Structure 1
Amino acid sequence: MKILVFGKSGQVATALQQRADVTALGRADADLTNSAACAAAIAAHAPDVVINAAAYTAVDKAEEEEAIALTVNGDAPTAMAQACASAGIPFVHISTDYVFDGSGDAPWPTDAPTGPLGAYGRTKLAGEDGIRAAGGTFAILRTAWVFSETGNNFVKTMLRLAETRDALNVVNDQFGGPTDADAIAAACLEIAAQLHADASKSGTYHFAGMPHVSWADFANAIFDTASKTVAVSGIPASEYPTPAVRPSNSRLDCDALTATFGIPAPKWQDGLTRVIKSLQAS
């Protein structure tokens, strides 16, 4: 199966290249601010399936650059989905928990009402809406709290801080499921293969690590796994203000993905152990 991936250096895109023989397009190959160029890339490569692992992910900066974020997160994937629909090929797209308003404490089912709190979530939701409207074979995969050996993520930030700090304040009233980028890549490849064989599996799905934890709990797990001695003090998000409001509840209900594709929610502890071993080895 010939797989075309939008994204090259991001966490999931890197993992996809490590897991499978894919053609990955970076910024120089496909400008996500030019939706027509994205559609043209699909036509030029004539793949069997397309996976979009590229996005505007600067959550705080998006508050000032919503127009750019909307082009990358909304217009580009919409154009990709339309091109895939025209060619009769499946389209797998990675989305986010930020499409929800973060209220309550129950895991969000796939059909829960959306209500983004900021620009990033609004632009990602626009992309979702455009993909569904394209009318092709698709899977939108919402995930959360992505970590890996590459790029910028919470695990690497905590390990870096542990080199110079013996105590940290970490938010303890935001909850979610940390998700290993390698597990996301594996899920995308499996979804792509099954969609290629059965278009009826099209839809919106959730994939995030279990069990659900707070950022402070996750930080403690990182330090324990890495054998670092750092005292973590939990603080409310109100004491760590950011330009963009983060959802308090990023728990995702992954049952639909398991029922349809046979893919269980990953255990984030397994991914964390793998990532930290890899980072320490390098």
Structure 2
Amino acid sequence: VEGILSVVLRGAFMDLCRCARKEMNKQDGAPKRKRSLLPCVGVTETDGEGSLLPPPPPPTRRSQRQQAKYRKSADLDSAISLPISHEVPTGRKAEISVISSGEGDNSTCSICMGEIVEKTTLDKCGHSFCRACLDRAFQVKRACPVCRLVYGPLIGNQPANGSMIVERDPDLELPGHEGYGCVCIIYSFPPGMQAQEHPNPGVRYPGTDRVAYLPDSPEGNRVLGLLRRAFEQRLIFTIGTSMTTGMQNVITWNDIHHKTSIWGGPRCFGYPDPTYLVRVTEELREKGITAD
């Protein structure tokens, strides 16, 4: 009897559910929904008025692989949003500072990077080095290897048998320096033999003549005085490989730029060039040539 009653009750309940669903579809002209299987009795819920409501959709479940992928993506997004820092730990900063400046405990030579042997301290800047390291550095250039402060007159290896002649043309005006005449500098070197201070001692080099131009203005004459002093210290030219012709064992310019043309601008080593006089003054200052 109990079995038959259960079947009858279940059938009546199913009929009631079908009727309720039909009524829900008809109300307010709602569009027909796709039929789906009725939920089982154990999960069917009712609202406050006693009408049947479909169960809420089950929460989305992710597999372990999907969860790992989601966490990796979230970590990547958070890493991208963080500002990138290029700072070095404090201890490393201090180490770099000591090595590069030669300061701190003054026990490390910034030339050989070892412990200072026969400590020699430069009087103007206070940087200290090994005596042997400093002697070798001063053979190349008499300047502090750290701050580049020049000590004493810097002497180059320009051939000693050259001449520097200055001529003035008041009627020739350089573009960008109108109202002033022109200063013509004529450098002349006869052929000679390379000395021990040159790259290939005993090898001959050909002679050369070079002409450069400056405005006959106060600024131009100031640069002319610096160039004359640099020539006396044998810094204008050197012996090496020509950058333009590729020829070896020839007299070449030594990193002090000259204007060898009147026109054409910087590309043709000529005028106008508004910053030239400032640049060449800075180049001369780096070689220790300054106005008194």
TM-score of the superposition, structure 1-length normalised? 0.22
TM-score of the superposition, structure 2-length normalised? 0.21
Q: Which has the higher helix share?
A: 1
